[in-house]
Chains A and B, each alone.
Chain A
Amino acid sequence: MDVVKVRQLVRYHAKEIGLGIVDQTRITTAASELFRNMFLYAEGGDVLMDAGIYNDHKAFIITCIDRGPGIEDIEMAMKDGYSTGDGMGYGLPGSKRLVDDFYIESTVNQGTTVRIMKWI
């Protein structure tokens, strides 16, 4: 599946779960950034979509797992304008600003896992 199809799925489920139009757009865009990263740097990966309770919040949860090269310096990767590719460098930090909870974990040469949540 390509980025566009998964993104459509995210939007569909965000709508089903009861998120408003603005939140739908936010989570879809945030997820789109993560999908693109997986696609560009890790040649794809797995995406899990779920609804659940996290810290007393009902949340729409998306987890992206890849087995790509990993991120050497997560702190730098989370800074605005920093990119190792030819992107704008707003993908990860921008996606963090668009969601309510953002978790990233990466091991060099093993892969990266990013989990984002939006409260419902």
Chain B
Amino acid sequence: MNIKNAKKRIDNIEDVLATVAAGDLEARIQSDIEDDFSGIEAAIDLLIDDLTDELKNRKKIQNELEEKLKKIQEQQKTIVQQQEDLMELSSPVTKVWDNILILPVIGTLDSQRTQIMMENLLHKIVETGCTISILDITGVPTVDTQVANHLLKTVSSARLLGAECIISGISPAIAQTIVHLGIDLSSIKTKATLQDAMIYAMKQKERVAPGHKSDLLYLDDEVE
């Protein structure tokens, strides 16, 4: 084989490699001549085949991953949305009797949730003019110092608006835990069950009721 021929073959190989490097994976050397170069040419063709397969595989995996990521991001969005919904839903304040509000607390009291809970309660106290509110914590599994602190703050701020707060639903296990923690809840009226709290609140109401009623009558008279 003369040098001119060899140079031509090498140029051909270079061309193909350049084409592949540029992104066109269809290019092959495919030489029909059998000589010393054939082995190298065949090997390069094989390498390009392998590279093509690898790239295809990688593309496929990348697509799958991107799809999964998209799914996860969507789920994440749903979770955040649901958490927000739950936050709103889980702090309902209901007027159950003339002068009595009930706020059942279920789950965990973190700072954010207490904030919403407190706002709801204070808002409702002003709106309804109720003077007794019952915070039922039957559904709170763990009362640690932070939760107790939040409860104390809620009760204090309700008191500033002239409403008395009763905390009910303290289980025996939680009662013992609170004592061991060293938290002083003696400034708050507490009851074991929601029923006890209701009975206490009704009795309080009877005491408040006469004045309350006469106020109403007085207003009625004025209207007439």
Binds B, one of A51-59, A60-68, A69-77, A87-95: A87-95
* Contacting pair B149 A87 (CB below 8 A): yes
Contacting B174 at CB < 8 Å: which of A25, A32, A87, A94?
A25
Q: Is A98 an interface residue (CB 8 A)?
A: yes
* Contacting pair A32 B144 (CB below 8 A): yes
* Contacting pair B110 A88 (CB below 8 A): no
- CB-CB under 8 A for A88 and B177, given A33-B145, A36-B144: no
Residues of A within 8 A of B144 (CB): 29, 32-33, 36, 91
- CB-CB under 8 A for A29 and B177, given A4-B108, A94-B182, A97-B182: yes
Q: Please give the distance in Å from A23's CB to the nearest CB on chain B.
A: 9
Task: Please report the total number of B residues contacting A with Cβ < 8 Å.
Answer: 20
The size bracket of the interface on A is 20 to 34
Q: Is B172 an interface residue (CB 8 A)?
A: yes
Q: Which of B10-65 contact A (CB under 8 A)?
A: none
Residues of A within 8 A of B148 (CB): 88
Contacting A11 at CB < 8 Å: which of B141, B149, B180, B181?
B141
Q: Which of B99-156 contact A (CB under 8 A)?
A: 108, 110, 141-146, 148-149
* Contacting pair A97 B145 (CB below 8 A): no
Other A-B pairs beyond A33-B144, A94-B181, 10, CB < 8 Å: A3-B110, A11-B142, A25-B141, A25-B142, A29-B144, A32-B142, A87-B145, A88-B149, A91-B144, A93-B182
